[in-house]
Amino acid sequence: MENKGKYYITTAIAYASGKPHIGNTYEIIMADAIARYKRMLGYDVYFQTGTDEHGQKIEEKAKEAGLTPKEFVDKQAGEIKRIWDLMNTSYDRFIRTTDEDHERQVKKIFKKLYDQGDIYKSEYEGWYCTPCESFWTDSQLVDGKCPDCNREVHKEKEESYFFKLSKYQKKLEEYIENHEEFIQPESRKNEMVNNFLKPGLQDLCVSRTSFKWGIPVDFDPKHVVYVWIDALSNYITGLGYDVDGDHGELYKKYWPADLHLIGKDIIRFHTLYWPIMLLALNVPLPKQVFGHPWMLVGEDKISKSRGNAIYADDLVRFFGVDAIRYYALHEMPFAQDGTITWELVIERINSDLANVYGNLVNRTVAMTNKYFGGQLDKNFVSDPLDDEFKAFILESVKNVEEKMDQLRVGDSIEAIMELFRRCNKYIDETAPWTLAKEEKDKARLNTVLYNLLEGIRFGAVLMEPFMPETSKKVFEQINTEETSYDSLSSFGAYECHKVAEKPEMLFARIDPVKTMDEIHEYLGDTAKKVEHKEAIDFSDFEKVEMVVGKVTECKKHPNADKILVFNVDFGYEQRQILSGVAEYYKPEELVGRKVIAVMNLKPRKIRGLESNGMLLSAVINKDGKEELELLSSEMEVGSVVC
């Protein structure tokens, strides 16, 4: 096969902060499909993905989990890699920003930019609250005081490093102007130019001192490198880029990247900050950044806290890897967001994979067995009908190529489905079961089945980048070794070997009702896995004093949006108690309500107001969202709860 040159493709590196959902997973599947397609065409492909492992959020999450940040990211990166592998993605390197080679180069990059004057140290000025160790802006202060503790604040400066983006603005504008294909789709380019470049770029703060989990600035180690400088560098460090010019072979061969595939939310980082970093380092710019749309669940953003997240491993458990690859790739439009629900996945598998693709292969192989003992020959009796059929199949190859050139992956896969639909139509047109009735039509029947098997072979070769395992099964069933892209240059490369005797169905039809029940049961079971707290003795419980009281006054906290301030009458005393339920109630509707209070919780101040006790409430699930509801009581005021 002719070598078409090199092709370096990358995905965004996923935050190692939690399990990736089907939206994040879509990106690696799409990159994999492109990488496999390019390899099939004869490109020498290098495909990189990985994890973004530094930053404050990860530091906090590790703390919550009771792990060191490194232990935490090791675990998360393992989980992300497990899902990428489960989805059969053919990456060449899985880079982690905690990899030693990456960290060393990031330090050197930062130093080089500093030494050449592109990064400078300055001060960030704000209002500082010493006990809270926090900076606040003018507008965040409440009555000139700390919004958290209501204490005095003073002006303080924190030092930070800044990157002179503005110095390279002109060069970047020129590059974008002269390279039509750099930012894709086109609409994303306009967004960047109009919203960010035209108003002018501000210098970017590129170091932090407020947390530790990052790559230290080696000449000033109380600073850590801003997570985006660290993360974006992965695209070159992963290939062995060296600031001093001692580059690895991969870098020499594959840089500049042919494609950075990323989601629409991080286009700014990839089309403004990243090229400017590269311009400053005197490194050639990537050829293309493609900002893909997002996958939604129904109409909503996928989110763990909303409880609507769908995960690739759960989907695969029910439908298999290739069906999910197919769904994700077929369903995502080029520029608008796409959608996924369990029900839609079932519908699509039935309508396309079972009814069209699976059914075609199964019928054709079964007829070849039934009428010819599985063995055809190449003595053809043609019919004018065949010409249009063959032309259609050959045209599909061009169609797919054209769409893939524009990264219209969904349209490419649809073009292959059209090929399979055309084959099914050819069965209707030629009615093999009728031909089978007359001995004189046997040679024609042989031709019809040959054309169908050849059509299937074309489709399976074209489909291989998208559904690799399915294509392998099809090649086995039709028993062919003609699986190269070159073999699609003309119709008829299929050699007649005996087809599989008892082919398994590629995709079984799914009973939506039964399967949805199973899915609900499975997901429900997962949700019901409640983690219980440690057991306590009765004497521990007895320490809590709980009494029924009546709300006599209720108003909003002047300095805290989420908190209501209650006055509660217990019969023998009145108390001020604060509770974080302001999001769920209007204060006036609570006056007169009987509530249950913990009386002996130590008093504490919340944003300047004291709370003497705590009101009991329950976490309830309202339309999939968690809310707080105050416990109420029918009992007499002053009753002791035990």
Rounded CA separation 620/144 (Å): 37
The single residue among 8, 9, 23, 49 that binds ligand ME8, judged by CB under 6 A, is: 23
The single residue among 7, 8, 15, 43 that binds ligand ME8, judged by CB under 6 A, is: 15
Question: Which alpha helices (DSSP H) does 4-89 contain, by range?
Answer: 22-41, 56-64, 69-86
Rounded CA separation 392/283 (Å): 45
Question: Which residues 48-67 are close enough to bind ligand ME8 by CB under 6 A?
Answer: 52
Question: Which residues 275-294 are close enough to bind ligand ME8 by CB under 6 A?
Answer: 294
Question: Which residues 603-622 are close enough to bind ligand ME8 by CB under 6 A?
Answer: none
| 185 lies in the site for ligand ME8, by CB under 6 A | no
Helix (H) / strand (E) element for 179: namely none
Question: Which residues 293-322 are close enough to bind ligand ME8 by CB under 6 A?
Answer: 294-295, 302
- What pairs with residue 339 in β-bridges? 296
CB of 297 to ligand ME8, least distance (A): 8
Radius of gyration of the chain (CA): 32
Residue pair 369/329 in contact (Cβ under 8 Å)? The answer is: no
Residue pair 471/460 in contact (Cβ under 8 Å)? The answer is: yes
Complex with ligand ME8: residue 14 or 478, whichever CB lies closer = 14
Question: Which residues 470-529 are close enough to bind ligand ME8 by CB under 6 A?
Answer: none
| 229 lies in the site for ligand ME8, by CB under 6 A | no
CB of 573 to ligand ME8, least distance (A): 51
| 350 lies in the site for ligand ME8, by CB under 6 A | no
Rounded CA separation 385/451 (Å): 11
Question: Near ligand ME8 by CB under 6 A, which window of 20-28, 197-205, 353-361, 603-611?
Answer: 20-28
Concatenate the DSSP letters of all residues of 283-297 into one string. -PPPS-EEEE--EEE
The single residue among 7, 8, 9, 12 that binds ligand ME8, judged by CB under 6 A, is: 12
Torsion over CA: 216, 220, 221, 226 (sign): negative
Contacts of residue 178, defined as CB under 8 A and 6 or more positions apart, other chains included, come to: none
> In degrees, to the nearest 5, what angle opens at C-alpha 562 toward C-alphas 558 and 566?
65
Strands (E), 53-194: 93-96, 119-129, 134-136, 154-163, 183-184
Complex with ligand ME8: residue 31 or 413, whichever CB lies closer = 31
| 563 lies in the site for ligand ME8, by CB under 6 A | no
Other CB atoms within 10 A of residue 215 CB: 24
| 27 lies in the site for ligand ME8, by CB under 6 A | yes
| 393 lies in the site for ligand ME8, by CB under 6 A | no
Question: Near ligand ME8 by CB under 6 A, which window of 114-122, 136-144, 261-269, 523-531?
Answer: 261-269
Question: Near ligand ME8 by CB under 6 A, which window of 13-21, 363-371, 426-434, 527-535?
Answer: 13-21
The single residue among 132, 266, 281, 335 that binds ligand ME8, judged by CB under 6 A, is: 266
| Closest-approach residue to ligand ME8 (CB) | 263
Give contact residues for ligand ME8 (rule: CB under 6 A).
12-15, 23-24, 26-27, 52, 231-232, 262-263, 265-266, 294-295, 302
